[in-house]
Chains A and B, each alone.
Chain A
């Protein structure tokens, strides 16, 4: 039977393999208009005028809008982590008064054809009084919009958290270890760019936006509010989605504009982003500088940790509010005890593309910072790199461990964990000592080979609730309806496996409907590695309840007084003694009404997966190129629904992490012009740069917080990559503390080496 724990192939794959997918660009409606966005060519400046007359006169052009044409539409609001004082920094749908980054939408063209729309957009002239771009998030704040909002500075908020007695920790410290590290500006770069198509049905009055992703229900309500639509007048519909990674599916100006266009122009409006636009307009992420100070005792135990960090938020605060900085501040201490802690996280605006979340937001950055600090402590005290971690890890008998700090408005309580156990098992599996000995041997022969490890905590299963509706269809198949979204991670299969387990049917008998706001009233979507935990748990509750109802109906049909002697196996309900049986289709056919059941799952707290990464690298001393020879992720998932899909998540995430560690970076010139606006400049890893990602998946420690015992698996593959590779490069070059920033591209490594050697001369 197709149940939990089996590596089943996915039920969603066949149409994707046949070229029958339905991605945003594949939708097409009769009479559709194409929308093209005119974007700011400069990083910062006052908008004097936007000349659209020539564009309006171009062939096929139906309308050109600037901010004045949509003055009634408010800026885009926060979906998460609303912090006091952020409101004035929200992004308008089209630039008003100022443009604040290259790529900011200034106007939109609606035309009959995509080529006509692009031609016309080229004829829109933005008269902008350019000002000096502000590009350094660690520099003192400057005015946000000097003339229109002269009081407002480019630091919307500082996130402060603390616990324990930090001053005492420093007073008692034997050593104080300080470190400054930086992580570059990266983003998710799904292979499918963003896109949307809005259609207004005049008969029903309902506006439908196709191409929805990630959080359809939230976005439906947000667009409805912005366009002042009555409840029920807008629905969002998700087709296939070509990758999300946190970036895709947040509410962006373009989503609102296609909806407004369809309503006001009376024709369907389609918008498909090009790649350059995507790199300029979709959320960036990472880009933090951390200044750490640790109070350490004589054994290497961290008595207290202080951090001041700066998040380069880019030009505006988008839907995530303070999410990334909040998570960074809350999860920096990671898997270590660290009895006292104080952090100030500065959210700083610059004239770059606005930032949001990207897979393991705040954790990729802080894991790099914290694990580099652990290495620095080991170097300072001449301790073994593993030993310093053993000394500081939270022991099993302290679980559940209340961090006495909050993240995303929930208390951070590590649900369960055997951190030491996973560390030892993983080191044994990879043969850590032999690996180090081999690297040392090769170094003695002139090669530059090194090993790095990094430990991490992830978080998953953000609540507060989720709803799944399970229904028996007339043909005996099962329909599962959920408000969750699929971004390619395989949720149909995972949800089907969970339900198949309860209902004793094959997963092919289950159809999972997701991302359709018209089909279910509640949906929280797909983010924060929440789907398997939250939706999976709700699916189990719903399918068990459906099973009970099916048995109840079957009992009546079989004229039995109770369901006690009935079992549901292989799509049949059987009576144990009489062997009488009914197929699910017969039950559905003969039932007086549709048999369906709702499953609600509520969770107050997130849960916390954990693990470690081991990297083996070889550095070319001539080119400073870094080659990965081996990479392993040890991960505690609680319970694996489909190990093959988890391995897919871990491997994919790890390779994205390798991109961030070695290749990917958004670079700007002094005027704020982005220098990485194509996939020839923003370098994604290819199959040539990626080793086989080994996975050591453990189910030693089920989460006590949900009925399945699961934790999320979407992010742990990326979290510690920068940290592990950084440590491995240090080791390869026998230069403790060398790597203090990511990505470690050849020119950067060369510069780091020069700085390192100068500091030691």
Chain B
């Protein structure tokens, strides 16, 4: 159980050579071994979606994936969303539309929406509401998250 395995994680364009137990979750590896604490853990059983990251563009719950499951895949986390100082349209719209309060679930929502909209920019508002129901937020009542994602989707289609 405690024998460690050496792996290389590719995250946000950088490589991290780390040594982890096979049971180490991707979330723990990102947070503890790569120092990327923007990915948050809300439940550690795949229910809340707070820890959502993109693996080769697909939103996954990093609490339900082992770090050693990754080989060559590219991981994207919230730290890689902005372009330098320039916020991603999702980040901008969350800010403009009060789409966050405590901000703990926010990275998960941002990555979930980013992955979905990159895969299909033409998601309808109803698709988006359905999509966003896979993550939990306890502060906002969702409406400003839905609004922010809908506006960002329009902006990303431009």
A, B assembled together: yes
Whether the pair B102, A240 counts as a contact (CB closer than 8 A) is yes
Query: Cβ of B101: which chain A residues have Cβ within 8 Å of it?
Result: 243, 488-490, 648, 652
Give Cα distance in the complex from A14 to B91, angstroms: 9
- Chain A interface category by residue count: 35 or more
Chain A contact residues: over half helix, strand or loop, or mixed?
loop
When the two chains form their complex, are residues A18 and B82 in contact, meaning their CB atoms are under 8 A apart?
Answer: yes
Q: Are B143 and A651 in contact (CB under 8 A)?
A: yes
User: Is A19 touching B143 in the complex (CB atoms < 8 A)?
Assistant: no
Q: Is A627 an interface residue (CB 8 A)?
A: no
Q: Which of A188, A648, A653, A680 contacts B144 (CB 8 A)?
A: A648
Return chain B residues, CB-CB under 8 Å to A19: 36-39, 77-79, 81, 107
- The answer to whether B142 and A190 touch across the interface, beta carbons within 8 angstroms, is no
A709 to chain B, nearest CB (A): 23
A652 touches B23 (CB 8 A): no
Q: Are B24 and A189 in contact (CB under 8 A)?
A: no
B100 interfacial contact with A, CB 8 Å: yes
Distance, CA A692 to CA B31, complexed state (A): 35
Indicate whether A440 reaches chain B with its CB closer than 8 angstroms: no
Decide yes or no: A23 and B104 within 8 Å by CB, A488-B139, A686-B133, A692-B143 being known contacts: yes
Nearest-neighbour CB distance to chain A for B14, whole angstroms, equals 14
Known: A678-B45, A679-B47, A693-B143. A687 touches B129 (CB 8 A): yes
| A678 and B37 contact, CB distance less than 8 A | no
What's the least CB distance linking A16 to chain B, in Å? 3
Q: Are A17 and B98 in contact (CB under 8 A)?
A: no
CA distance in complex: A680, B130 (Å): 18
Known interface pairs A18-B79, A645-B98; A243-B138 also in contact (CB < 8 Å) = yes
Q: With contacts A13-B103, A191-B105, A656-B138 known, is A644 near B98, CB below 8 A?
A: yes
The answer to whether A191 touches B136 (Cβ under 8 A) is yes
A644 to B31, CA, bound (A): 33
Write the chain A residue with the least CB distance to B88: A17
Docked pose: A743 CA to B101 CA in angstroms: 26
* A191 / chain B contacts, CB cutoff of 8 Å: 40, 42, 48, 50, 102, 104-105, 136-139
Specify which of A26, A59, A190 is in contact with B102 (CB 8 Å cutoff).
Answer: A190
Interface membership of chain B positions 46-82, coded 1 if the CB is closer than 8 angstroms to chain A and 0 otherwise: 0110100000000000000000000000000111011
Question: How far is it, in angstroms, between the C-alpha of A193 and the C-alpha of B132 when the chains are bound?
Answer: 21
Contact residues in B for A188 (Cβ distance below 8 Å):
138
> A9-B96, A59-B2, A652-B139 are known contacts. Are A190 and B44 too (CB-CB below 8 A)?
no
| Residues of the B chain whose Cβ atoms lie less than 8 Å from the Cβ of A10 | 95, 98
Q: What residues on A are CB-neighbors of B47 within 8 Å?
A: 275, 678-680
A568 CA / B140 CA spacing, docked (Å): 37
* Distance of B9 from chain A, by nearest CB (Å): 16
For residue B146, CB closer than 8 A to chain A, the reply is: yes
Are A240 and B79 neighbours in the complex by a CB distance under 8 Å?
no
Tell me how far the C-beta of A660 lies from the nearest C-beta in chain B, rounded to whole angstroms. Answer: 12
Q: How far is the CA of A243 from the CA of B138 in the complex (A)?
A: 8
B121, CB-defined interface residue at 8 Å = no
Q: Is the pair A242, B104 in contact by a Cβ cutoff of 8 Å? A: yes
Evaluate contact between A20 and B38: CB separation under 8 angstroms: yes
Contacts of B92-126 to chain A: CB distance below 8 A? 94-96, 98, 100-107, 110
Q: Does A655 contact B (CB under 8 A)?
A: yes
Q: Does A396 count as interface, using CB distance less than 8 angstroms? A: no
A140–B133 Cα distance when bound, in Å, is 43
Residue from B31, B103, B143 in contact with A488 in the complex, judged by beta carbons closer than 8 Å: B103
Kindly identify which residue among A20, A243, A275, A684 contacts B45, using a CB–CB cutoff of 8 Å. Answer: A275
**Which single residue of chain B is at the shortest CB-CB distance from A487?**
B102
CB contacts (< 8 Å) of A687 on chain B: these are 129, 132-133, 142, 145-146
> B95: which A residues are within 8 A, CB to CB?
9-10, 13-14, 17
Q: Are A17 and B140 in contact (CB under 8 A)?
A: no
Complex contacts, A274 vs chain B, CB 8 Å = 44
The chain B residue with its CB closest to the CB of A14 is B95
How many angstroms between the C-alpha atoms of A374 and B68 in the bound complex? 61
| A16 partner residues in chain B, CB cutoff 8 A | 100, 103, 106
B24's nearest neighbour on chain A, judged by CB, is A115
A59 to B3, CA, bound (A): 13
Which of B37, B77, B142 is within 8 Å of A26, CB to CB?
B37
Q: Mark A633-662, 1 if CB is under 8 A from B, else 0.
A: 000000000001101100111111000000
Interface assignment of A25: CB less than 8 Å from any CB of chain B: yes
Q: Cβ of B31 and Cβ of A25 under 8 Å apart?
A: yes
B23 contacts A275, C-beta separation under 8 Å: no
Select one of B39, B91, B129, B137 contacting A688, CB under 8 A: B129
Tell me if A21 counts as interface (CB < 8 A to partner B): yes
Residues in chain B near residue A656, CB distance under 8 A: 138, 141
Q: Most chain-B CB neighbours within 10 Å: which of A21, A241, A684? A: A21
Which residues A472-509 have CB closer than 8 A to chain B?
Answer: 487-490
The reply to whether the CB of A87 lies closer than 8 angstroms to some CB of chain B is: no
Residues of chain A within 8 A of B102, CB atoms compared: 190-192, 240-243, 487-488
- Shortest Cβ distance from B45 into chain A, in angstroms? 6
Chain A contacts for B45, CB-based, 8 A: 275, 678-680
B154 at the interface (CB under 8 A from A): no
- B41 within 8 Å of A (CB atoms): yes
Min CB–CB distance A713 → chain B (angstroms): 13
Chain A residues within an 8 Å CB radius of B130: 688
A216 to B7, CA, bound (A): 41
| Interface residue ranges of A651-700 to B (CB < 8 Å) | 651-656, 678-680, 684, 686-688, 690, 692-693
Is A78 positioned at the interface, with any CB of B under 8 Å from its CB? no
Given the known A-B contacts A19-B37, A693-B143, are A679 and B98 also in contact in the complex, defined by CB atoms under 8 Å? no
A20–B31 Cα gap in the complex (Å)?
Answer: 12
Contact B138 A17 (CB under 8 A): no
Task: State in angstroms the CA–CA spacing of A11 and B2 once bound together.
Answer: 44
A310 CB-CB contact with B under 8 Å: no
Interface residue? B18 (CB, 8 A): no
Instruction: Kindly report which residue of chain B lies nearest to residue A493, judged by CB atoms.
Output: B98
Closest to B39 in A: A19
Q: How near does chain A come to B91, taking the closest CB pair, in angstroms?
A: 4
Question: From B134, which residue of chain A is reached at the shortest CB distance?
Answer: A686
Minimum Cβ distance to chain A for residue B11 (Å): 12
How far apart sit A656 and B136, CA to CA, in the bound complex (Å)? 12
B24, B81, B98 — most chain A CB neighbours (10 Å): B98
Map CB proximity to B onto A159-191 as digits: 1 under 8 Å, 0 otherwise: 000000000000000000000000000001111
Q: CA of A25 to CA of B39 in the docked complex: distance in angstroms?
A: 11
Q: A44 within 8 Å of B by Cβ? A: no
A192 and B141 form a contact (CB under 8 A): no
In A1-52, the 8 Å CB interface with B consists of 9-10, 12-14, 16-21, 23, 25-26
Alpha-carbon separation in the docked complex, A693 to B138 (Å)? 15
Closest to B94 in A: A17
A101 to chain B: which residues have CB within 8 Å?
Answer: none
Closest chain B CB from A597 CB (angstroms): 30
Q: A17-B110, A115-B21, A655-B141 are in contact. Are A192 and B100 (CB under 8 A)?
A: no
The verdict on A419 contacting chain B, using a C-beta distance below 8 Å, is: no
Binding site for A on B (CB under 8 A): 2, 21, 23-24, 28, 31, 36-45, 47-48, 50, 77-79, 81-82, 87, 91, 94-96, 98, 100-107, 110, 129-130, 132-146
Beyond the given pairs A191-B137, A242-B103, 17 more chain A to chain B contacts, judged by CB atoms under 8 angstroms and listed by A's residue number, are A9-B95, A13-B94, A17-B82, A19-B39, A19-B77, A23-B37, A23-B104, A190-B138, A191-B40, A191-B136, A243-B138, A275-B43, A652-B138, A654-B141, A680-B47, A688-B133, A690-B141
24 A–B contact pairs at CB < 8 A?
Answer: A9-B98, A17-B95, A17-B110, A18-B38, A18-B78, A19-B36, A19-B107, A23-B104, A26-B37, A190-B104, A191-B42, A191-B104, A192-B40, A240-B104, A242-B103, A242-B105, A243-B101, A243-B138, A275-B47, A655-B141, A679-B47, A684-B138, A688-B133, A692-B143
**Taking beta carbons and an 8 Å cutoff, which residues of A are in contact with B?**
9-10, 12-14, 16-21, 23, 25-26, 59, 114-115, 188-193, 240-243, 245, 274-275, 487-490, 644-645, 647-648, 651-656, 678-680, 684, 686-688, 690, 692-693
Closest 4 CB pairs of A and B: A19-B38, A488-B102, A242-B104, A16-B103
